[in-house]
Structure 1
């Protein structure tokens, strides 16, 4: 079947070939005009003047004496008017949302030529309806009566009173807005429509430049448009062509036919359109349990429609196929799903500016401003916001080295708030990290920043197409910011940065960047409204779900439903009728219609196919090939991962056995091996570690480090001397000494500063206060043991341990505390966790890989005792553990061996030395045994918090 536009082009070329240059063709959208001219050009074999084409909105703007007003400036103007009339102290922040809604309502009121005074009348008695609205039909009057019956003054609620109070000033607001806009020669779209309609009603002559005006492809007309059509018809200038020759729309019960009869009767075409071809249409419906999955399915459909190479298909051939996106969020997945062979693609929807990196940067900058802290004259920025901005693509490209250095510094020194001075060395970073207290400052800041970004990108060496695209994004954002900055400078209205952020978001969300390329070439990807007046052989409609197609939600409105219905303003039923018309018109001339819908039922999503499919199937008896696409998901048993000790891996293990090498095993590494050999391999042999992150609060590991550091600082003054009760009392009686020791440890362990001392504040002060209490209690416990000799704190050792196999292993460690009393040397390890055990059943338990609660701390302390004896010679060593969390209820530091019921304290390591040394050597031998691979633990509980689960897929 011939497309409607092609038929009209053929008729007018035949009847008015020489007059076409003086004619105007009016379409529902610009794209229809482009397609029409394309059809016309292919029928012409000699030079001719082409007719002018435009949309009906452009025609109204051409005929009007008013200029289109800026939307944001309209909102400011409306707020000033509302404030002057309502006498309410309402901030612009609160007004902004419903001010937008009111502008939309005023737009409808004007386009539908509604009597605003009558609409916004305060009806105090129901009997007034009959006299006030006698020009309306009975159905309209009944709708108005239904609404106002709930607002009878005798039973008004507080909300009803608020509604009436606002409702009473709406007409004065509407009237004053009109007066001010007319005085400045401006108007919003609906006002321009009404101005032209009223001039026609007053029989004023409109500035018509054409010999004939042809209206093509319209359906639901506003009263203003009806007046325009009637004016040109009565003056003998107009011709009308409707796309109503559709079987389904001849059915009066079909909502899509609501406007058909009236339009055909009022506005008849001059020429008969003849399309003698017969239609052979097939319809397919596929349910897919995924939104993005539909885009991937379209890839397969396009492959089937165009199976050959791209050279085989002309642009004209590709133009016969349209992909309709009911859900605009599928635009990007769809663009990535188009086969590479189809290199000519035209996207009519444009690329939303709101999803570009430039828009994301604006959101990040507003978030940065919200979290700023002022400390005296110093401006501090919250680290999370700083790091997000430093990792933004623009910053990585234009200041990557400086951004990385600052980001690394934040992580390394655990900076929560970063002063502005740290960004001063780079012009771009210095312009970014600035405090802005007011919207005017913020607007100037954004304008300056985007200008700087554009300049930097223009001078970048990598002047590639992606850079050009980023410049386009930045330019549109710069234009939006510049526009709103100008508006803010010309208004005295006060608003917050939050409202300014919302206005910016609203302004940016309305901008769509057109894709470069020939609009009349290639595969067409478009929204439903862009299809008006166009016909395609192959139509692919995605997201054909109820609630999406047609859309369930209607635009928010201050005018209640019954009043809208009573005064003939558009309602939900009106939108349903428009959707139905577009659907049936779109598929009418298609040879192949393929629809997909999302079968998932979750949240507000029903997984139900659109009502139009049911109508086609059951009411019109159209054959529909239906199928459900499914994904083959099988849960295979995870394979056990093991790493054989190949030659390459043995070479990586060799440094641990080489004397003088820096590679050495610690007690925690050996414990890791006993828990999971694979984890040992990844962390110790390969050196894979989790990336560092900033600690906002003091983590458990840092808590322990601060405790260790403070204890070392306090006891360092007594190192190598006899500790007496008086010496400990002097420390306990000096809170400053303990406080300074904790602050110093906080500076070194948390802030990672090697010089100076920073006293904790806020939440950190609470945590360090707890550490201070633990230290005081440990000192009290130590006082009971006095006198004793304090040997060392954080004692480091590096020892080589000989194995029966003849190998020697490099071992290292830090002993938290060594003291001596009555010839017995105590080796103590501080433990901050609650899971550390001081009781064990025997040496075998310390090396049992299957043991769920293996006493790791005991194994570590025994290892320290073994190596200390090896270093210092044979002496009496008592290993022990200080459980910090138990200091207030238990001062015992001893280890206990409990093979059965009776627990025996470990007073002398020599009693366990031989057995432990043999088991320890066997464990180390196993680590370096080339025949034994590094295997994965079988205990999945040990994998819960392991950072390597992504690798081993446990």
Structure 2
């Protein structure tokens, strides 16, 4: 394949041009690098290299102005805005930046296209007046301010541009306009300097004026790269601009138009693949590269062109490891670097002034990969210590002093992260810079293994140095919110450049970086409507019809630019792979680009089209099974000797695998911070309060006076137990206050129930409260001792009948403590776990001879107190008319003991594995 650059150099050599004395002007710096690479292939003798510059560099040289970043332009523009606006009407810098960004773009377009400034701004002002309010006799202040804004546009422009010119700086449009102004003296001062313009397509009026004037004076040559197929088709947007130049430039009326090529119609292998999702495209690019490498052994003339540059990271992760030579023309966005998430979290934390911090924000920051290591001091991991203390003490909000109290020797790090920025920009920037230095000092210890993180830190140090400079020079940043906005603006424009082989191996680039370059094999991703081309967008104060009238570019011209770049990539390529996303994403509808449809309708090339779907393996869901090895059997025996609790046995009934995790592996749920009081905490508080109330009453008959005396202590006891269980959590407001009141209400309602029972003539005597029981049971089938242990909430005697009572703060219904078939007791957790639990308590107390049968056992449900004591009952059949036996006799205990022992035998049986139950 002969490239366009090679053809240009060959033509110049054939025309006896002295290449060393030429100035090559190209659309981009990257194209200049490839031109240097092609020179030795054309020139066989040693020569001085010609001057090779981009169009931006050439125009800057002409204008004698220096281009400055967009962020700094905003600060300069705000200076002008302050001078021209009354103090009472001033927008803050943050508000100003939102509309000033758009206005700067319009200034840029107006200047690049050499539009008479005063006339267009006056025209815009007149349009607004005419459209909306010219006929209204009495205009509101809002209307007056709105029209005043449009009337001031030219004043803003004039003051701002004069200010920039005085400082010898400018935005791109102003630089172009000044370049045109300086063109005549430049030509007079360089009467013999020859310029070669190559690879251009869409030119603004300034560029057209400069190039035409140089051509007219015999100081330039220009080489176009356009194919006959596009140029001859008047409706083909790939040649929209080139056609205009060819027809409208006076120079081409008497001079040849170089060049119209015929490369596009040559035979090509074009494949179009529809692939679900962006990640699917990235993965398929990796697969394609692997295939191409195996077939050609080289990727020297292969380019991956990303229509959506957000695909860079997924594509890099998908590149086969066998590809060694690689060049990435796009920088890695600084906002995608892990360090950016740290500063984003810090800005979020300090944006609103507060003396205390939300625990999730604190944990997020101290757990960050760049922060956690610097909390490791003198072999103590203070980050873990902080997290554990926050969780165990239920700290929902905590201040800097509390953090320093926990992380004593890391207090200087706590100060850097959590010292209040107090709306002070200097403090914020100083803390961020010191933090960067602290991270760097840690990374320096293992420098060899931390080269990439050190590069990250270096770039962020540069960014904050620039923020510090802007703040000290302009003094426009008045609050943290504005600082955050400026930080994000700078961050969005900064990239981390890759080091690669610029002229070797695989090339990964964006669409604009492909200008003037040619490749044998091209892979283009994200060829979707809304991406390529980008479609309609109107981020401008200038209406569409005004743009057309003044020959300013609209979305149609912008689409034509991408049409040219897309087709240019195809012109000399032999193998083309076009990928598009078939699925609707946030910003796209999964519609393939019109470019693909146009390729189909042209009928010039055969196009292989396929819809690809990833191979998704079908993973059959399988139940988790744990084999009972000899080691595991020993652990089960030890557990049996220590004692099974009723809750652990019901846990096994619910799901044996959960029993294995909790009782054998001792895996507990992590005690995270309870922002809202959890149900188990509420239950514990109620249980402990009742324990405090009734423990002193053991052996006593309850009276109305005793219970009324207890009611007066509810507030004190509930508060005490909440503080004990909920640690430093706040129960004074919000949902927690409601739950605190619910706990008091539960206790109060229970005591009211007791009073009601006593007044009804029931004699209630307290026998035991929170009684611990551990008993040994004899199971002949097992050759080791087995114990059962548990704690009964309450045992009392009501009218001579012993009652075993279990408190439940949740809702329990009568049918949940009734049973028909004994076999169901150990198989259906949902229906019979409550019955199993109370029967186990009765069985344990009977064996330990603490009670004499018959007894009653059951539940008191605090959410169903109106039902009173819910007694266990054995029913002779299902249904509401079944006979119920609520007394637990020896017969009941014997029947239950059979089920209990069978369950324990199953748990201990080495031949029955722990098998997960289907949920």
State if a TM-score over 0.5 links the two structures. yes
1:669-688 matched pairs, under 5 angstroms? 669-688=648-667
Counterparts of 1:67 and 1:560, CA distance in 2 = 30
In the TM superposition, residue 590 of structure 1 has moved relative to its aligned partner by: 0.3
1:231 aligns with 2:205: no
Q: How does 1:480-559 map to 2 (within 5 A)?
A: 480-493=463-476, 495-554=478-537, 556-559=539-542
1:917 correspondence with 2:918: no
1:8 paired residue number = 8
Task: Give the CA deviation at 1:609.
Answer: 1.7
Q: 1:766 — aligned with what?
A: 738
Q: 1:319 matched to which residue of 2?
A: 300
Q: Is the 8 A contact 2:268 2:605 kept in 1?
A: no
Q: CA deviation at 1:6?
A: 1.5
Aligned match of 2:433: 447
* 3-state SS in 1 of match to 2:274: strand
Contact 2:656 2:914 (8 Å CA) reproduced:
yes
Q: Deviations over 1:446-478 (max 9, x none)?
A: 2222232223222x33x345x211121222222
Quote how far apart the aligned CAs of 1:835 are: 4.7
Q: Secondary structure at the match of 1:307?
A: helix
The aligned runs of 1:446-845 (5 Å cut-off) are 446-458=432-444, 460-461=445-446, 463-465=447-449, 467-493=450-476, 495-554=478-537, 556-601=539-584, 605-633=588-616, 638-658=621-641, 661=642, 664-719=643-698, 723-732=702-711, 734=712, 737-751=713-727, 760-785=732-757, 788-806=764-782, 807-820=784-797, 824-835=801-812, 839-842=816-819, 844=821
Note if contact 1:836-1:855 (Cα within 8 Å) is conserved in structure 2. Answer: no
State the Cα deviation string for residues 142-189 of structure 1 (Å, max 9, x = none): xx9xx9974572379999877544221111111111122223332222
Q: How many residues of Structure 1 are paired with residues of Structure 2 in the alignment?
A: 891
> 3-state SS of the aligned residue for 1:545?
coil
Partner residue of 1:260? 242
- In structure 1, the residue matched to 2:26 is 27
Q: Within 1, Cα distance between the matches of 2:300 and 2:600?
A: 28
CA gap of 1:271–1:812, structure 2 versus 1, over 3 A, is: same
Q: Separation in 1 of the partners of 2:229 and 2:467? A: 50
Check the 8 A contact 1:841/1:899 in 2, yes or no. no
Please say which of residues 66-75 and 319-328 is displaced more in the overlay. 66-75
1:410 is aligned to 2:390 = yes
1:881 paired to 2:847? no
1:280 to 227, 242, 267: 267
Q: 2:370 aligns with which of 377, 394, 403?
A: 394
CA contact (8 A) 1:865 1:879 kept: yes
Using the size of structure 2 for normalisation, the TM-score is 0.90
Q: Following TM superposition, by how much is the alpha carbon of 1:28 offset from its aligned partner in structure 2, in angstroms? A: 0.8
8 A contact 2:718–2:744 mirrored in 1? yes
Does structure 2 conserve the Cα–Cα contact (< 8 Å) formed by 1:838 and 1:857?
no
Match of 1:91 in 2: 92
Deviation track 1:269-315 (CA, whole Å, cap 9, x = no partner) reads 8997798999432211111122111111112211221117xxx95xx
Checking the alignment, whether the CA contact within 8 Å between 1:249 and 1:584 is kept in structure 2 is no
The answer as to 2:872 corresponding to 1:895 is: yes
Indicate if the aligned counterparts of 1:798 and 1:812 stay in contact, CA closer than 8 A.
yes
Separation (CA, whole Å) in 1 of partners of 2:189 and 2:403: 60
2:294 maps to what in 1?
Answer: 307
1:51 equivalent to 2:56? Answer: no
Contact 2:777/2:785, CA 8 A, preserved across alignment: yes
Give the equivalent residue in structure 1 for 2:64: 65
Question: Structure 2 CA distance, aligned partners of 1:555 and 1:472?
Answer: 38
Mapped partners of 2:822, 2:585: distance in 1: 50
Q: Matched residue of 2:892: which SS? A: helix
Once residues 272 and 621 of structure 1 are traced to their aligned partners in structure 2, the CA distance between those partners, rounded to angstroms, is 24
1:866 aligns with 2:866: no
Question: Which range moves more in the overlay, 853-862 or 70-79?
Answer: 70-79
Is 1:434 the counterpart of 2:437? The answer is no
Worse-superposed segment, 532-541 or 237-246: 237-246
User: Could you say which residue in structure 1 is the equivalent of 2:834?
Assistant: 857
The residue aligned with 2:111 is: 110
How many Å apart are 1:538 and its aligned residue? 0.2
Separation of aligned partners in 2, 1:210 and 1:513 = 41
Contact 1:321 1:537 in 2 (8 A): yes
**Aligned partner of residue 435 in structure 1, secondary structure:** coil
Q: 1:222 aligns with which of 204, 208, 221?
A: 204
Structure-2 change in CA distance of 1:868 and 1:96 (3 Å): farther
Q: 1:835 to 1:549 in 2, by over 3 A?
A: farther
Match of 2:360 in 1: 384
Question: Once structures 1 and 2 are overlaid, which stretch shifts more, 111-120 or 646-655?
Answer: 646-655
Verify the 8 A CA contact 1:326 1:543 in the aligned structure 2: yes
- Cα contact 1:840–1:899 (8 A) shared by 2: no
Distance 2:691 2:353 in 1: 37
d(CA) in 2 for partners of 1:393, 1:2: 49
TM-aligned CA distance change 1:608 to 1:276, over 3 Å: closer
Note the C-alpha offset of 1:728.
2.3
Distance 1:506 1:445, change over 3 A: same
Return the offset for 1:368.
Answer: 2.1
**Paired residues of 1:827 and 1:865 also in contact (CA < 8 A):** yes
**1:337–1:885 Cα change, 3 Å:** same
Question: Whole-Å Cα distance in 1 between the matches of residues 212 and 434 of structure 2?
Answer: 51
Q: Distance in 1 between matches of 2:617 and 2:441?
A: 53
1:176 aligns with 2:121: no
Decide which moves more: 692-701 or 229-238.
229-238
Aligned to 1:936: 916
Deviation at 1:38, TM superposition (A): 0.8
Show the counterpart of 1:356.
Answer: 337
TM-aligned CA distance change 1:349 to 1:56, over 3 Å: same
Q: Following the alignment from structure 2 to structure 1, what is the Cα–Cα distance between the partners of residues 243 and 731?
A: 82
**Residues 15-64 of structure 1: CA distance to partner in whole angstroms, max 9, x if unpaired?**
568x4444321111111000110111344555432122221111222232
Secondary structure class of the residue paired with 1:922: helix
Paired residues of 1:878 and 1:909 also in contact (CA < 8 A) = no
Q: Would the alpha carbon gap of residues 694 and 902 (structure 1) be closer, same or farther in structure 2, given more than 3 Å must change?
A: same
In structure 2, the CA distance between the partners of 1:603 and 1:453, relative to structure 1 (3 Å rule), is closer
3-state SS of the aligned residue for 1:154?
coil
CA contact (8 A) 1:348 1:530 kept: yes
The 3 A distance-change label for structure 1 pair 148 and 725 is closer
- The answer to whether the 8 Å contact 1:698/1:764 transfers is yes
Whole-Å separation in 1 of the counterparts to 2:620 and 2:335: 43
Match of 1:377 in 2: none
**Mapped contact 1:122–1:164 kept (Cα < 8 A):** no
Greater CA drift, 204-213 or 386-395? 204-213
Per mean C-alpha deviation after superposition, the further-off stretch among 587-596 and 518-527 is 518-527
Deviations 1:669-704 (A, max 9, x none): 211221222332333333344433221101112221
Q: CA RMSD in A?
A: 3.1
Q: Is the CA contact (8 Å cut-off) linking 1:677 and 1:935 kept in structure 2?
A: yes
| Contact 2:820–2:875 (8 Å) recurs in 1 | no
| TM-aligned CA deviation for residue 210 of structure 1 | 8.3
- d(CA) in 2 for partners of 1:508 and 1:480? 8
When residues 211 and 296 of structure 1 are mapped into structure 2, their CA distance, relative to the original with a 3 A threshold, is: same
**Hey, what does 1:947 align to over in structure 2?**
none
TM-score, normalised with respect to structure 1:
0.87
CA distance in 1 between counterparts of 2:360 and 2:189 reads 60
**Equivalence for 1:951:** none
